[in-house]
């Protein structure tokens, strides 16, 4: 009876999923369609071609490399800051935890455009405009607050007996942090790293605002601008670039999905 009464829920879920994935299908469809047939609006692929991908792979690879460097560096910076901070908040029980949590929440509520304008003024004085370190630092400011909150929620729920036993045996805080806390936080660390990578990889606001040198070190989100002109838009290469840029994130999500599912729910139930 349950299977008979729930079939419509499956149908509704499939319809909603199809609607949500249709833009992705349309992007792939346009990327394989020749320029003369793009404006036909055909849902079924016509005039199949791979010329757009050949153009993208010859023009956009430097931008893909820049995005990869920025995203990986953002992950490293985020973890280097968030892991010790989460350990101090969740395990060491430092004072002012409520104030710190309020600041972390407040940091995520600030619009990115406001932060971008502030970064522009600061980086302009420091000579960090159109630099990789500037984009890495800017992207990390978005990822660090979320990472600290996620990792802290898991570390608070860790069995205190393990940490107390290690302390009784004479383990230092560094040993507890590196040999107990970090291995047990694997799922949350993978989830945090994935979100930091996705934020840095898909960043457009900071990249467009902090790019003042003609695009020497532009990420792939800015490389798409090469196909947008005042009077004409190259939709085929543009969509091909979007498809190529989506492949690394799709692969990461598929590979790390089990860790993400476990990491997002980590700390939700306290033993």
Same domain, 209 and 173: yes
For residue 121, the domain's CATH number is 1.10.3720.10
Same domain, 134 and 13: no
pLDDT value of position 271: 45
Same domain, 173 and 235: yes
Q: Which residues of the chain have pLDDT under 50?
A: 1, 268-271
Nearest residue to 87 via CA among 146, 141, 162, 158: 158
pLDDT value of position 261: 62
Number of domains composing the chain: 2
Same domain, 141 and 204: yes
Same domain, 34 and 132: no
Calpha distance 15→23 (Å, rounded): 14
Q: Quick check: is 166 in a domain?
A: yes
pLDDT value of position 228: 80
Same domain, 4 and 55: no
Measured in residues, the chain has a length of 271
Q: Which residues contact 237 (CB under 8 A, 6 or more apart)?
A: 52, 55, 56, 59, 227
Nearest residue to 115 via CA among 144, 79, 73: 144
Q: Quick check: is 271 in a domain?
A: no
Nearest residue to 225 via CA among 212, 215, 210, 213: 215
Same domain, 132 and 4: no
pLDDT value of position 270: 47
pLDDT value of position 266: 56
Same domain, 138 and 168: yes
Q: What DSSP character marks residue 194?
A: H
Mean pLDDT of the chain: 85
Same domain, 14 and 148: no
Give this prediction's pTM: 0.84
pLDDT value of position 254: 86
Q: Count the neighbouring beta carbons within 10 Å of the beta carbon of residue 166.
A: 17
Joined tokens for residue 49: 């071609």
DSSP labels, 61-79: HHHHHHHHHHHHHHHHHHH
Calpha distance 148→87 (Å, rounded): 9
Domain range holding 255? 51-265
């Amino acid at each position: 009876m349950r299977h008979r009464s729930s079939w419509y829920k499956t149908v509704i879920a499939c319809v909603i999923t199809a609607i949500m994935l249709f833009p992705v299908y349309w992007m792939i469809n346009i990327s394989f369609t020749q320029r003369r047939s793009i404006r036909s609006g055909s849902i079924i692929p016509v005039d199949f071609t791979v010329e757009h991908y050949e153009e993208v792979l010859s023009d956009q690879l430097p931008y893909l490399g820049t995005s990869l460097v920025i995203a990986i560096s953002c992950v490293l910076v985020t973890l280097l800051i968030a892991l010790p901070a989460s350990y101090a908040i969740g395990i060491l029980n430092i004072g002012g935890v409520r104030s710190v949590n309020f600041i972390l929440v407040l940091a995520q509520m600030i619009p990115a455009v406001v932060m971008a304008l502030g970064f522009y003024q600061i980086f302009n004085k420091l000579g960090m405009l159109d630099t990789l370190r500037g984009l890495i630092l800017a992207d990390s400011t978005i990822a660090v607050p979320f990472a600290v909150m996620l990792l802290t929620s898991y570390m608070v729920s860790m069995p205190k007996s393990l940490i107390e036993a290690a302390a009784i045996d004479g383990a230092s805080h560094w040993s507890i942090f590196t040999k107990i806390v970090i291995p047990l936080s694997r799922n949350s660390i993978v989830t945090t790293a994935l979100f930091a990578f996705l934020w840095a990889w898909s960043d457009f606001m900071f990249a467009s605002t902090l790019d003042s040198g003609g695009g020497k070190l532009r990420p792939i989100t800015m490389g798409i601008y090469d196909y947008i002109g005042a009077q004409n838009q190259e939709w085929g290469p543009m969509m091909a670039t979007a498809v190529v840029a989506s492949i690394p994130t799709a692969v990461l999500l598929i590979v790390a999905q089990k860790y993400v599912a476990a990491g997002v729910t980590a700390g939700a139930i306290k033993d």
